[in-house]
Every structure is written in structure tokens, then in C-alpha cells.
Structure 1
């Protein structure tokens, strides 16, 4: 990749962010499509986030991915918000508006998971049975919004804070989305076709949990948004129940591909992006 004075710059902002695999993913796609661009990771101190955005826009940094803990603040600081950003209150993808010297905000997190399902479990929409989403935090909100937009299946949200979960359901689609408790999880899993862990339980092997997936449909898809480690106790339980299971590395590829499409106007190969991430993760 040859860098010149005309090379466009893209970046992921977060704190921490040095561990991010997005530069590996995005630069592979940039090279494959022959764009004169470079993607880097930029750590930002929490007190400096809005100032950093202003400086990056003034310096013609063309696009940004936003990760923890800045997604809500990115949405608030944007010149314009997509309908999805307005709905979920968070942005993970910013695109430079050169005329306004600021950024337009999008959210590709939930749609990235759907895009991954379309690649790795393309029959998920046709399967009989409800969808179960574990958690009602920021990631879950984005996932629920995308699932509701892409499927008419009943969705059950399992969360400790019932009021928070009900508020999300009421905001998105109260007729489609029902709220349940962790104590009632077995009955919500009964005949489920898709179960998604949208909590941080199991991340870096912290607070692992392993639900019994035997009540789900035999062809159910068990999905963990976590990809570190790639095989969590949650997925081990799915494997023991002989269910299909996937980690969150594909969601990273999916949301990154949709961000790439916003910036460059072309959707890159998600399956190829996942392979790039798998190789980087293994190496």
C-alpha cells in the first residue's frame, strides 16, 4: 500500500483501541478495491472526544468507526443522524461532510450482525420459532432494532432490569418484542430458532455462563457477539446441544463492511473479511 499526499485517511476511535482488528479488516478491503486510502486506530482520552472529532473533520479524515465508550457521544456530536441512530441513540460509523466540516452518523452494529447471519446461517429468517436476545444494553438495542427491521418473528428480550428492557421494546416495536427475566429463560428458549448473547458475559473469560440450549429448535442458531475468546462457555453449551453456533467475529466483519459501503460506495466481500479476521486472530 503506497501512501502519498493524496491518500485518504480513515480511523477507528476508542479507549482502549490499540487492540482493534478493524485496521487489518479495512485495509485489506481498501487494497482489494484499489482505493488510495489508509485506515488506522486512534486512541482518544474521554475528555477530548468532541475536540478530537472537530480536529479530525478539519483535517479531512474521511470516515470514522466509533467504539467503546464513545458511541452515544458520537451520535450527539454528528451534523446529521440516520434514522437508525435516532432510534438507538448511538453511532459507530461517521462519514465526513466536507461542506459542513463535521460528520454524518450511522449505526451498522445490528445490521452487521444480520449481514453475518445472511452469510453464515442464510436460512435464519425461514426457521420456525422466536428470536431470543440476551441483554438490553447498547449492543442489544442496535441488534434489536436491526432484527425488528429484517424479520417479523417474535423477539424475546431477557434482561435483569425489566424496566430498561420494556422501554426498549416500547420504543422499537412493542407488538413484536416481549420482555422476560433470566429466571424465565428456559421457557423463552423453548422452540427458539435464534438466540443471541448481547451481554458482556464471557468476554475475556469473565463471568462465563452456559445456558441449556436443548429446548431450542434442533436447527437453531446460537450466536455470541463476543469474539475474545472465540469459543466461550456459552458456545460450548451450544456445541454440546448439537446446535449451530457462531462467535461475534462475523458481526465485526459485517458492521465493518457496511461502514466501508458508506464511505466508498461499494459493499466488500463479508466472507472474505471474516477470513481476514480469522487469520489475523489466529496469528
Structure 2
């Protein structure tokens, strides 16, 4: 009698380019830690012209799900027939799950953002005052949705292009939102409960984000979705002013949790060990940028 050939539960992260992705490091760590047998998470480089055919072929290739990164999040949304409520609101997908009804697109970016804040600053509450977002791009859309769902009483968007911020507000159906120019940033900071940089300013290789944090209340939380460097110029300035800060690495780690649970049936934990593993891969020792 021949031995039964084991079925491999395969998951991938799709992007173009994709070699930089640390998602395999995160998910394969959890696969080993939780003792999940015959499972693997890998990178899949997908040029835009091959995306639609790749999505159609995922199940035939043995994949039970996937993550989606730039530049494919919006395009994958259009490729799929089924979506969860958040993906429908954002019209963007970062997680694909094989369900009994077929492939379903989900979006966990906003979840990852909020989970990072609650994990790193457990005393902070979203409903205590206005949230100020710098930028109105794709990341801002997910974060604005998450803050709105978490009960932020007002979302203030500081953006160079007024029309783009207005489009974000309209597309997401935000009821209590306002747009400010960079020249009006002092006004946006009044009574703010949160300041989040959703732009690439401050990222390694980009120009610094230079703003005066003096108008921010002493109780405000400051966070940055950039995590290379781990402590951006914005976070350093906030820390030196005595404000509570949360770096952006946790968003990457926490957004991975719901997808892993959906694929493998076990909920992983974002631990100090995982954080140290990813930082080591980045060549960073905790406490140094």
C-alpha cells in the first residue's frame, strides 16, 4: 500500500517587486511555533499584466490563500467576486482566503494599525479626541476607516492636494472629517488625541518630515507607519517632547494575524520574539535606528 502523499497548505504574498517582503519570515515563524504540519508561506512575484491570471490560478496551484502588497491591492479587489465589508469599503485587498464559496478578498491593514496602538499604548483610546492624519494615500484610507470604526470623534487630514483628501472622505463616507493644508497644521493639532504619519516622508531614502509638534497636546499619541528607520524623525521629535510614541513595525506584524488564523485555524501572537526576529532581519537592534 502506497503512503498517502501529504497535502501542502500553501500561502503566498504577491507583489511586484516582492523580494523585500518580510511576510514569509513572519508567517513561517508562526507555522513553526504553532506546529502546523505541511504548510509553507512563500513569495510570488507577479507583474501587473499577469495578475488576473495568477489570481484565477491560485486554487489550481494549491494555494489556500495569499497576501497582497503593492502595487496590486486595488487590482486584486477587482479580480475577486467576494469581499468582506472592509475590503468593499476600501476597494482594496491585502488578504485572500479560500472559503467554501471560493476566494474572498479581505483587508486587515486598518486592523493591524489599531492593534499596534492598543498593544503598544494600552491606555490610549480612540474616542478621546480628534485624530490627525498626515497624507491621503492608500494607507491613509485604511487607517481612516479603522479610526472611524473605533469611534474617533473627528478625523483631520493634512494633505498637499485638497481634492485628494476630499475624495478620501467622500469614498469612505466619513461623517466627521476635515481637510487641512500643511500651512494649517497648527490648527489641525488643536486638542488632537492622535497624530499619524501615513506618508513615506521620514523613510530611509526619503526626505525628513519636519513639523513643529509644539501645538500638540501633551496627551497626544504619535505614531508613524514608516518603520525603516524604526524611530523616524517624527517619533524622535515626539519622544523628546515627552509624548507617547508607537513605531510602525507593529502594524506590519499585527495585520498578519487575521489572515494566518483564517488560513490555518490557529490565532498567532505578536510576541517580543517575533519582533526581534524581524528587526534582526532588518539589521536593527532594539533601541537603535
Instruction: Give the TM-score, by structure 2 length.
Output: 0.89
Measured after TM superposition, the shift of residue 126 of structure 1 is 6.2
Q: How does 1:33-182 map to 2 (within 5 A)?
A: 33-36=34-37, 37-97=39-99, 100=102, 103-125=103-125, 128-182=128-182
Residues 23-71 of structure 1 deviation map (CA, whole Å, 9 limit, x = unaligned): 1111111112221211111111121111122222211201111000000
In the aligned structure 2, how far is the partner of 1:70 from the partner of 1:225?
19
Conserved? CA contact 1:156–1:188, under 8 Å: yes
In structure 2, what is the equivalent of residue 18 of structure 1? 19
In the aligned structure 2, how far is the partner of 1:27 from the partner of 1:188?
42
Give the root-mean-square deviation of aligned CA atoms: 1.9
Residues 61-105 of structure 1 deviation map (CA, whole Å, 9 limit, x = unaligned): 0111100000001111113011111111100000124664xx210
SS of the residue 1:252 aligns to? helix
Conserved? CA contact 1:210–1:236, under 8 Å: no
In structure 1, what is the equivalent of residue 246 of structure 2? 246
Query: CA 1:155–1:115 in 2, change beyond 3 Å: closer, same or farther?
Result: same
Instruction: Give the TM-score, by structure 1 length.
Output: 0.91
More off after superposition, 235-244 vs 132-141: 235-244
Conserved? CA contact 2:116–2:254, under 8 Å: yes
Unaligned runs of 5+ in 1: none
Conserved? CA contact 1:60–1:98, under 8 Å: no
Conserved? CA contact 2:133–2:156, under 8 Å: yes
SS of the residue 2:199 aligns to? coil
More off after superposition, 65-74 vs 157-166: 157-166
More off after superposition, 130-139 vs 202-211: 202-211
In structure 2, what is the equivalent of residue 31 of structure 1? 32
- Alignment length, in residue pairs? 278
Unaligned runs of 5+ in 2: 285-289
